[in-house]
Every structure is written in C-alpha cells, then in structure tokens.
Chains A and B, each alone.
Chain A
Amino acid sequence: MERESLRESESMAIEVRVPTMLRTHTDGAKKVHGEGETLRELLADVERRYPGLGSAVLDEGGKLHRFMNVYVDDEDVRFLGGVETPLSDGIEVSILPAVAGGS
C-alpha cells in the first residue's frame, strides 16, 4: 500500500511549463505537474486537472497543433515521437506557441 502511493507520487514528477496565454487555465501558475507515459497521456492528464490546457496543444485530429511547439527538456517532440513521445520522471515539458508573422 505504501509502495503503491510512493509510486504514484513519483509518477507525478513531470513538470510542465505553461506559456503566459495558457495560464488562464492554471490560475496563473507558470508550472504545473502531471503524469503520463507518453506526451498524449500527459496532455490528457493535465487537461483533466486544468481543463483547456491539454487540448490547446492539439488540433482536431489529435495531432500537435501546427503553431504549437512542445519541448521535452531541450528536444522538440516533432523530432522525437510527436504526441507518442515517451516520457519519464524528472523531465520538463515546455509548451511553446510559435511566435511568427509576416509583412
């Protein structure tokens, strides 16, 4: 029983950096925690805790939104496994909307 609760608290160890415009979903928090073995699971978990946050990252087809970047530590998940990128405890996930424009 004790072992089980320990494991559960360890699996909460994924830190998610939230960009300013999505902090309306987190009561202003810059960082939140979630769990999941893949990015898709993590996003589903943070969506349960902070409705609107996880879903903002994905398009209607459940893929990464074209203008959203997600980093696992220093790596762009587009170059890892996209939403199926495996995650492990202690990593940091950053959500980063693209900053772009034109003249």
Chain B
Amino acid sequence: MTRAAIDGRLDLDRETFDALVAHARSDSPYEVCGLLAGSNGAVAGHYRIPNAARSMTYYNMDPKSLLRALREIDDAELDVLAIYHSHTHTEAFPSATDVELAAYPDAVYLIVSLQDDEPVLRGFNIREGRITERVLTVGGEELATGPR
C-alpha cells in the first residue's frame, strides 16, 4: 500500500525544493534528513541535520544538532513545518519504521526518493499510525500525488 487519502496541502518555493533534492543527492546512497521551519504554512528556514545513523536504510537526526535547530525555531517563534528525509532506493512513501517512529503529528513528513532518475518528493502526515498525503506545490505548481 503506497497510497493514502489526500488531506491538506503544503506550498514550497522552487529554491526549497531544489535544496531538498540537492541535499538528498549530496550523500546518496546514504539517507539524509532535516527540518523546514515556517509560520502559517510558509517556509522560513531550512535545517540540514546530520544523519547520526549514516545508513542507506535508516535515519536518526543527530540529537545535538536537532536540539540546536529546535531551539532556534522556537526562539524565532516559528514552527516545525516539515521533517524530511531521503529514500535512496525505495519510493517516496513512509516505511513501517517511519510510521512507527513518527513522533511529530503536526509536522509534514517529506520524503525525497532518488530511486528513479527523476527525484520524487511527497509529503505526509503520520498520526497514531495513520498516513494521509498532502498535495505539494512547488512555485505554485502542483506535484503529482500517489505512487509513480
């Protein structure tokens, strides 16, 4: 099952989209991870957080870097808009592990997949084990939802 009910949207600018893809490619085949901060649904900050696991199949945000980023986001009166990571060999859909470990119900979980030549970005909410998909827009253009 790589399809989920569509609920809500998230608007990204082109620069943020490009930065996410560039970050994902920068350490492939290892997974990368990070945060987008914002207010009222608009992106206002991008934090690349080291993957303490440095794994091709797992990410674990380095706690100290996460601590610093979350402090900055809080002190700037922003919210954690999105939590992103890359899937280098699988599609852009939350894995069983992603769902099990999802601790931030208000954040959009963005996944960048590099399994095909063309990178795929999808966004989800994961709440109490239930996945819903967000419609993503980049520079005002809607990205496709659902499996490719």
Contacts and interface: CB of A to CB of B under 8 A. Distances in A.
Interface of A: 17, 19-21, 30, 67, 69, 71, 74, 76, 94, 96-103
B104 A103 contact: no
A101 B66 contact: no
Interface of B: 31, 33, 49, 53, 55-61, 63-64, 66-67, 70-71, 74, 79-80, 83, 85, 87-90, 94-95, 97-98, 101-107, 109
B137 to A, nearest CB: 24
Given A30-B74, A101-B95, A67 B64 contact: no
B25 to A, nearest CB: 16
Nearest to B105: A21
Contacts of A98: 60-61, 63, 101, 103
Contacts, number: 85
A101 B61 CA distance: 9
B88 A100 contact: no
B75 to A, nearest CB: 9
Given A20-B80, A74-B64, A101 B94 contact: yes
B59 A96 contact: no
Contacts of A71: 63-64, 67
A67 B104 contact: no
A69 B103 contact: no
Given A21-B106, A103-B31, A69 B71 contact: no
Nearest to A94: B67
A81 B48 CA distance: 30
